[in-house]
A and B are shown apart, each in its own frame.
Chain A
Amino acid sequence: MSSSSAFNDDKGGSSSIGEPEYGHDPASGGIFSSDYKRHDDLKEMLDSNKDSLKLEAMKRIVAMIARGKNASDLFPAVVKNVACKNIEVKKLVYVYLVRYAEEQQDLALLSISTFQRGLKDPNQLIRASALRVLSSIRVTIIVPIMMLAIREAASDMSPYVRKTAAHAIPKLYSLDPDQKDQLIEVIEKLLADKTTLVAGSVVMAFEEVCPERIDLIHKNYRKLCNLLIDVEEWGQVVIINMLTRYARTQFLNPNANESLLEEGTEKAFYGSDEDEGKEEKVEAAALVAKRKPYVMDPDHRLLLRNTKPLLQSRNAAVVMAVAQLYFHLAPKAEVGVIAKALVRLMRSHSEVQYVVLQNVATMSIKRRGMFEPYLKSFYIRSTDPTQIKVLKLEVLTNLANETNISTILREFQTYIKSMDKDFVAATIQAIGRCATSIGEVRDTCLNGLVQLLSNRDELVVAESVVVIKKLLQMQPERHSDIIKHMAKLTDNIQVPMARASILWLIGEYCEHIPKIAPDVLRKMAKSFTNEEDIVKLQVLNLAAKLYLTNSKQTKLLTQYVLNLAKYDQNYDIRDRARFIRQLIVPTDKSGALSKYAKKLFLALKPAPVLESPFKDRDHFQLGSLSHLLNAKAGGYQELPDWPEVAPDPSVRNVEVPEWTKCSSREKRKEKKVEKPFYSDSEGESGPTESADSDSDTGSGTGSGSEESGSESGSEESEGESESDKEEEEEKHKRKSKSRAKKSTQESEGSEPSSEDERKKPPKGKGPKAASDSESEEEEEEEESSSESSESESEGESESDTDTRMKQKTCASKPPPRQPKKETEMSLLDLDDFEPTPSPQVTPVNNFVSSSLVTDLEGLSLSDSALSPAAVSPASGPVKSYELLHRITGEGLSVSYCFSRQPFSHDPHMVSVQMQFTNNGDTEARNLRIQEPKLQSGMRIAEFPEIDVLPPGETVTMVMGIDFSDSTQAANFQLCTHTRKFFLTIQPPVGELMMPVFMTENEFKKEQGQLTGMNEITEKLTLGETCQGDAAIVQRVTSTASLSRVPCGSEMECRFAGKTVTSGSLVLVTIVTREQLVAQLTVNCEKMLIGTMLVKDILQALSQ
């Protein structure tokens, strides 16, 4: 209480009019001695009618409470003031009341009527605080009153009071669990509340009272997802955690089918657009036998999309909550986004770091690739607290692989010199783990550890011995000299664990060191009585093993040791001695077992697996207390396993669309922000996601999408009805089979107002690409009679409406009971989507179909990422290049083409499709790639080895090359079982990029930022055959992997893409001036690429 005088200073000013004798040192004296008197004075002050005196008294009482002093005897005096006019006095009385009411229940009842009056007060703050205090008084007698008050407050006009009601629910529940049913009713009512203020608190109440009633969430699921971004941060955490659990019960595992992973995730996006997923699945199952493509529920997608921006929150708890949601719910390909945010959290307070690192450690085991780019962020500084160092070390070890191990080991070397010995010990362990998991560095590690044996610090040596022991167990024969070296250490090392490890090693491998082992035993026998128990046990083991292998030399020694052990104080050791004696020393009584003694003692022991302590911790929900402790904490809700079959998604449909208005904050945002950006971002995913159909309505946040999908006609906003119109129009068009251009204009005319509608056309590209497989665009137009190859705009808008229609149908009724006509419709449309049953099946078909899928993937991603997303390659003929001629290849010929598919394992790689044909008459075996000679920065992902290629057969493989945005060739060797061929792949510049989807506005904006040096303009004369829009598009897209950007003018063609490695944008504009004169503009951050691209396009166009 040294500073207790200072303590009172704040009241110094006011207390000067009060009694000065209280001014100092009020509570520091013994409570029991002088307290009574002082409390009398306090009572006097409380009884006075001067507010200032009351306030002063209350302040001092609260100060006593704060320091944990007992002030309960003042209860009667204080409770009288509960109705005091002075609001500060009143508040302090509340504080007192809440603290002591439980102890003085009878007296506390005196105050209840005041609160009941307060509940009717016109001032919402007073209503709320009355409810707060009333519900905080833990007196069972007033439970009915509380219940009533909560019910009333739950329908209060003020959202703040409703929020308080939500807070009161768990309080009442903990006081009287019998009220559960009634409370659930209130929770249900409040869950339906549309204000962000209430959402977090009521979900909190839900979690505490009835977390098992997941059914209450169904109807509010979409609303919660959409409100999420505007809820206060604490509520966000609670809601996200709850929704994670909810999603686990309602949706299918996006990563269920590992083998189909690549397609699976792509399909996910594809399917994410509509509930049609389900029905499609049924039909697809019939059509595509046995291959069940995973289709992500649109609600699942909605959750992922709406939580993603929260990764940018300043609140670490929110970021962590989103991270765990993505970890548990997102398709593998998408989880990566959380790494950056988590790494950012590591710059926060050390406690935050501690928790985040624990979670990263768990994640890095499952998804190592995710954190690999951030390896260096886990490097350790000497100023980090030890517990942080150890965790970082854990992460570094988890991230170690063949490519980065040398860097990591170099880092470890500095750590070993640290002054923090606990940390050094942990580093040695880490080295051991690296050595076991990565074979290549085992010897290096072992050598390093052996050097540490001469370290002066005993702890370091001991730890090294333990780790070396484990390593040696993996390949003892090769390391007898290390074992010898360690045998010598027994003279010096005193740490029991280390001594024990050495002895065990010597015993286990005594055959490798036949001369030294008996000598060690001799020495140990001498010092046996002074050893620690753990060492003694190992001495016994050593003796037994030596006796079995080399009984001549060690018989007497062993007997001696066994005798010593027989009289040891520790019964474990006595037991062991007895057991060993019976087993190894042959006597007439010795049983059948002794025959097997050698087998028992000298059996080959499996090498230990050094595992991370964080392995399998992810069965706890990440970010939870239970995960951190690796033990179930009270009230922890298990994260359920994914269901085999998804429950009926229609339960989330809301009958009456309550989404007539977005929350006011959204409105505010909307107002401020120019529309295009919003609608752009939302609209991009328009057709792919049910949620987005709503974005047409212009509500910037994509909110309430579901409702627009549901049958509710009345509340539908323009966008929806417009799309209905459009839909009909579309049907019309289909009949009349209008020509491409015309319909483009038409459809554009029909949806003039909203920006985002205009964005849709490119989306249609996907379906188109799929529908006409690899047919070229000109053909396509001529072919427009066939259902599958619709003219461009039709394809677009159709897919659009299709999705919408299907979504409608299935939103309104569960799939099986669909009216027949509708089903037919969607079946027809399905043909557009589903390539397999379509008549023109071609070898490349699969590719293209999946490209459609990626198309849509790009779209749905782009919506949340908002950055121009990659869109799959435009269709066009795929040029094939010869890699190995059959003459030079002695019968083996190889050709390759750039398939323009995103390379599934690494988005920064260009995928190269290679076709191997064996023209010879003997089979070629073990086709594989060896010793790539690459320029710096380039990488190759080899294709899996082809075991056998019989004569006459052809095999297609895909490999990935990261050209690191240069047209430098990648050199490598192709090996067969007999020969090696030196091969080279040099990419045309156009293949170094991938298409990006953009709107005209985005395009212009991006272009505006890439001027000056980054812009190259050339005039050109178009070739004879190269006239008209379509021809130009075709030429450009076949030259470079770009996608077309929709634009209003007929004279202009725009294309966008980004380089595969660095993601720099590549923008191409072609403006046709007169008949044959045109101007080409290329904007690209990478000037070299820009220049080369200009050259290539010029050539293509002027032919």
Chain B
Amino acid sequence: MIHSLFLINSAGDIFLEKHWKSVISRSVCDYFFEAQEKASTPENVPPVISTPHHYLINIYRDKIFFVSVIQTEVPPLFVIEFLHRVAEMFQDYFGECSEASIKDNVVIVYELLEEMLDNGFPLATESNILKELIKPPTVLRSVVNTITGSTNVGETLPTGQLSTVPWRRTGVKYTNNEAYFDVVEEIDAIIDKSGTTVIAEIQGVIDACVKLSGMPDLTLSFVNPRLMDDLSFHPCVRFKRWEAERVLSFIPPDGNFRLVSYHVNAQNLVAIPVYVKQNISFFESGFSGRLDITVEPKQTMGKIVEGVVVTVHMPKVVLSANLTPTQGTYNYDPVTKVLAWDIGKLNQQKPPNLKGSLSLQSGAPKPEENPSLNIDLKIQQLAISGLKVNRLDMFGEKYKPFKGVKYLTKAGKFQVRT
């Protein structure tokens, strides 16, 4: 399946290569560079590139291109999903997935890749299994290893590999047993010029951080489970139980993991937490434009909207901006043509406003299009859909765990058209 993998940084250097079958010359990447050149942005590089003898399937993540070489038919999503899994594993092991961290830990990376694929077919992709085989680097461990001569590599088959719960290893022990759940919801919306909602959806995820000893069996129930319409589960969740009772029942993996992601029933109206009044206009004469944006809190359910950032991708002819914000700071980058206005907390009484003039390149025709605004925001302690966790029960272990649930609402792809 997956023949080889090349990691390429944004400068176009191949800084890591790994082959699972016979070696393929790195010159195959030239086809990729060609495609990269054609594409205006890294996001526009086609994920699948066909070359005379191979197919290149690549993902772009954290400023690194993961380019895999395929020789025969394979579902493209299979490879794409796997590459993302690799990136996530790096993140998990090194705290970040970056060129520097990969280079720093090149041996571990190599060992990981060796374990994750055998002959190009995925072998172990569960973080828990891998962590037993190859221990994540810590300063303490490397010191200890140097002194004692012990290794980073497990000598026995990870327990998960054969167990029926491959995502959890046995013999987990904590002194403080705790289980935290973050319910994070994102509002994806398109608001049109007049302020009416073209489309609004809520996507949610429940991320968990579970540090419990032994083999706990958890049941998470909700006050209003029916809000969750379309779900995808971590493999640990018992599907039938959900179908029958609408409770999440699972033996959790150890550590951080995403329990479910869900989509809120489309029939429920989505509360849009902010209202944006905007007026951006360009004038033919004098090569200038005006900009006036006001952000008001709308349906916030009594919570404070914070972390508000408005980003505008200006047309190319906009040279500079001379604006006055009543709150927060703004920054216009004349190279990328991005105007970012960092507002912070929204004030109920005095809605923040950004106003001023834009200067355009002289001689150029006035832009016909108006840029759309991308809004970013956060609301703590609120799941905008109204989803509420009812309770968390634990079976199978005796101790009393510390439990916590946190809610957070964020703007996802929240766009205001002008």
Q: Which chain A residues border B294 with CB–CB below 8 Å? A: none
Q: Which chain B residues border A628 with CB–CB below 8 Å? A: 48, 76
- Contact (Cβ within 8 A) B119 A677: no
Measured in the bound complex, the distance between the Cα atoms of B304 and A177 in whole Å is 67
- Contact (Cβ within 8 A) A387 B44: yes
Measured in the bound complex, the distance between the Cα atoms of B370 and A232 in whole Å is 49
- Contact (Cβ within 8 A) A672 B156: no
* Interface hits, A150-204 → B, CB 8 Å: 158-160, 164, 167-168, 170-171, 174, 197, 201, 204
* Cβ distance A393 to chain B, nearest Cβ, rounded Å: 15
Chain A residue with the shortest CB-CB distance to B87:
A349
- Contact (Cβ within 8 A) B155 A673: no
Most interface-central of B46, B71, B238 (chain A CB within 10 A):
B238
* Cβ distance A740 to chain B, nearest Cβ, rounded Å: 32
Name the one of A51, A102, A631, A664 contacting B164, with C-beta atoms under 8 angstroms: A664
CB of A644 within 8 Å of the partner chain: no
Q: Which chain B residues border A67 with CB–CB below 8 Å? A: 15-17, 106
Measured in the bound complex, the distance between the Cα atoms of B164 and A391 in whole Å is 41
* Cβ distance B388 to chain A, nearest Cβ, rounded Å: 15
Q: Which chain A residues border B417 with CB–CB below 8 Å? A: 382, 414
Q: A285-324 interface mask toward B, CB cutoff 8 Å, 1 = contact, 0 = none?
A: 0000000000000000000000001001111110111000
Most interface-central of B22, B43, B137, B313 (chain A CB within 10 A):
B43
- Contact (Cβ within 8 A) A349 B76: no
Measured in the bound complex, the distance between the Cα atoms of B78 and A94 in whole Å is 27
Chain B residue with the shortest CB-CB distance to A669:
B238
Measured in the bound complex, the distance between the Cα atoms of B156 and A13 in whole Å is 26
* Interface hits, B122-165 → A, CB 8 Å: 122-123, 125, 137, 139, 142-143, 145-146, 149, 151-157, 161-162, 164-165
* Cβ distance A805 to chain B, nearest Cβ, rounded Å: 29
CB of A613 within 8 Å of the partner chain: no
- Contact (Cβ within 8 A) A313 B77: no
Name the one of A14, A51, A315, A382 contacting B81, with C-beta atoms under 8 angstroms: A315
- Contact (Cβ within 8 A) B151 A55: yes
Measured in the bound complex, the distance between the Cα atoms of B261 and A4 in whole Å is 40
* Interface hits, A332-352 → B, CB 8 Å: 340-341, 343-344, 347, 349-352
* Interface hits, A784-833 → B, CB 8 Å: none
- Contact (Cβ within 8 A) B73 A88: no
Name the one of B40, B71, B203 contacting A347, with C-beta atoms under 8 angstroms: B203
Chain B residue with the shortest CB-CB distance to A350:
B43
Measured in the bound complex, the distance between the Cα atoms of B367 and A457 in whole Å is 10
* Cβ distance A7 to chain B, nearest Cβ, rounded Å: 5
Measured in the bound complex, the distance between the Cα atoms of B384 and A468 in whole Å is 46
CB of A729 within 8 Å of the partner chain: no
Q: Which chain B residues border A320 with CB–CB below 8 Å? A: 75, 77
Q: Which chain A residues border B60 with CB–CB below 8 Å? A: 350-351
Q: A849-865 interface mask toward B, CB cutoff 8 Å, 1 = contact, 0 = none?
A: 00000000000000000
- Contact (Cβ within 8 A) A91 B71: no
- Contact (Cβ within 8 A) B73 A233: no
Q: Which chain A residues border B244 with CB–CB below 8 Å? A: 673, 677-678, 680-681, 866
* Known contacts A314-B234, A316-B77, A866-B244; A376/B199 CB under 8 A: yes
- Contact (Cβ within 8 A) B368 A417: yes
- Contact (Cβ within 8 A) A52 B149: yes
Q: Which chain A residues border B146 with CB–CB below 8 Å? A: 13-14, 16-17, 52
Chain B residue with the shortest CB-CB distance to A419:
B369
Q: B64-96 interface mask toward A, CB cutoff 8 Å, 1 = contact, 0 = none?
A: 000000111111111011101000000000000
Q: Which chain B residues border A631 with CB–CB below 8 Å? A: 50
- Contact (Cβ within 8 A) B119 A867: no
* Cβ distance B12 to chain A, nearest Cβ, rounded Å: 14
Main secondary structure of the interface of A (DSSP, over half): helix
Name the one of A65, A168, A623, A700 contacting B77, with C-beta atoms under 8 angstroms: A623
CB of B104 within 8 Å of the partner chain: yes
How many residues of chain A are within 8 Å of chain B by beta carbon? 124
- Contact (Cβ within 8 A) B107 A381: no
- Contact (Cβ within 8 A) A92 B156: no
Q: Which chain A residues border B139 with CB–CB below 8 Å? A: 13
CB of B249 within 8 Å of the partner chain: yes
* Known contacts A6-B104, A352-B81, A625-B75; A138/B22 CB under 8 A: yes
- Contact (Cβ within 8 A) A314 B369: no
Measured in the bound complex, the distance between the Cα atoms of B211 and A879 in whole Å is 63
* Known contacts A66-B17, A680-B244; A665/B149 CB under 8 A: no
- Contact (Cβ within 8 A) B230 A625: no
- Contact (Cβ within 8 A) A164 B118: yes
Main secondary structure of the interface of B (DSSP, over half): mixed
- Contact (Cβ within 8 A) A312 B233: yes
* Known contacts A3-B99, A355-B77, A625-B74; A344/B235 CB under 8 A: no
CB of A1047 within 8 Å of the partner chain: no
* Known contacts A125-B156, A456-B365; A677/B80 CB under 8 A: no
- Contact (Cβ within 8 A) A51 B82: no
Measured in the bound complex, the distance between the Cα atoms of B297 and A97 in whole Å is 63
A-B contact number at CB 8 A: 297
Q: Which chain B residues border A419 with CB–CB below 8 Å? A: 313, 315-316, 367, 369, 371
Q: Which chain A residues border B166 with CB–CB below 8 Å? A: 232
Q: B195-234 interface mask toward A, CB cutoff 8 Å, 1 = contact, 0 = none?
A: 0001101010000000000000100000000000111111
* Cβ distance B126 to chain A, nearest Cβ, rounded Å: 8
Of B109-117, B273-281, B351-359, the stretch lying at the interface with chain A is: B109-117
Report the contact-size class of chain B (Cβ under 8 Å from the partner): 35 or more
CB of B399 within 8 Å of the partner chain: no
Q: B370-382 interface mask toward A, CB cutoff 8 Å, 1 = contact, 0 = none?
A: 1110100000000
Q: Which chain B residues border A158 with CB–CB below 8 Å? A: 157, 162
Measured in the bound complex, the distance between the Cα atoms of B16 and A595 in whole Å is 72
- Contact (Cβ within 8 A) A668 B107: no
- Contact (Cβ within 8 A) A314 B235: yes
Chain B residue with the shortest CB-CB distance to A418:
B369
* Cβ distance B234 to chain A, nearest Cβ, rounded Å: 6
CB of B21 within 8 Å of the partner chain: yes
Name the one of B73, B99, B107, B157 contacting A624, with C-beta atoms under 8 angstroms: B73
Of A602-610, A633-641, A889-897, the stretch lying at the interface with chain B is: A633-641
Q: Which chain A residues border B239 with CB–CB below 8 Å? A: 229, 309, 312
Name the one of A168, A234, A351, A677 contacting B245, with C-beta atoms under 8 angstroms: A677
Q: Which chain A residues border B413 with CB–CB below 8 Å? A: 381, 383
Name the one of A91, A136, A383, A456 contacting B119, with C-beta atoms under 8 angstroms: A136
- Contact (Cβ within 8 A) B55 A633: yes
Name the one of A4, A87, A385 contacting B41, with C-beta atoms under 8 angstroms: A385
- Contact (Cβ within 8 A) B75 A321: yes
Q: Which chain B residues border A55 with CB–CB below 8 Å? A: 151
Offer 25 A-B interface pairs, CB within 8 angstroms, sorted by A. A10-B107, A13-B142, A62-B110, A67-B106, A91-B111, A102-B22, A123-B156, A125-B157, A204-B121, A234-B78, A312-B239, A314-B234, A317-B77, A317-B78, A344-B230, A344-B232, A376-B198, A387-B46, A417-B368, A419-B313, A419-B367, A625-B48, A667-B164, A681-B244, A866-B244
> Contacts A67-B15, A351-B80 given; 5 further ones with Cβ under 8 A?
A312-B233, A387-B44, A419-B367, A667-B164, A673-B240
Interface residues of B (CB under 8 A from A): 1, 14-19, 21-23, 26, 40-41, 43-44, 46-48, 50, 55, 58-61, 70-78, 80-82, 84, 99-100, 103-111, 114, 118-119, 121-123, 125, 137, 139, 142-143, 145-146, 149, 151-157, 161-162, 164-166, 188, 190, 192, 198-199, 201, 203, 217, 229-235, 238-241, 243-245, 249, 258, 261, 263, 313, 315-316, 365, 367-372, 374, 413, 415, 417
Interface residues of A (CB under 8 A from B): 3-4, 6-7, 9-10, 13-14, 16-17, 51-52, 55, 59, 62-63, 65-68, 86-89, 91-92, 94-95, 99, 102, 123-125, 128, 132, 135-136, 138, 158-160, 164, 167-168, 170-171, 174, 197, 201, 204, 229-230, 232-234, 237, 241, 309, 312-317, 319-321, 340-341, 343-344, 347, 349-352, 354-356, 376-377, 379, 381-383, 385-387, 411, 414, 417-419, 455-457, 623-626, 628-629, 631, 633-637, 663-665, 667-669, 672-673, 677-678, 680-681, 700, 866-867, 1005
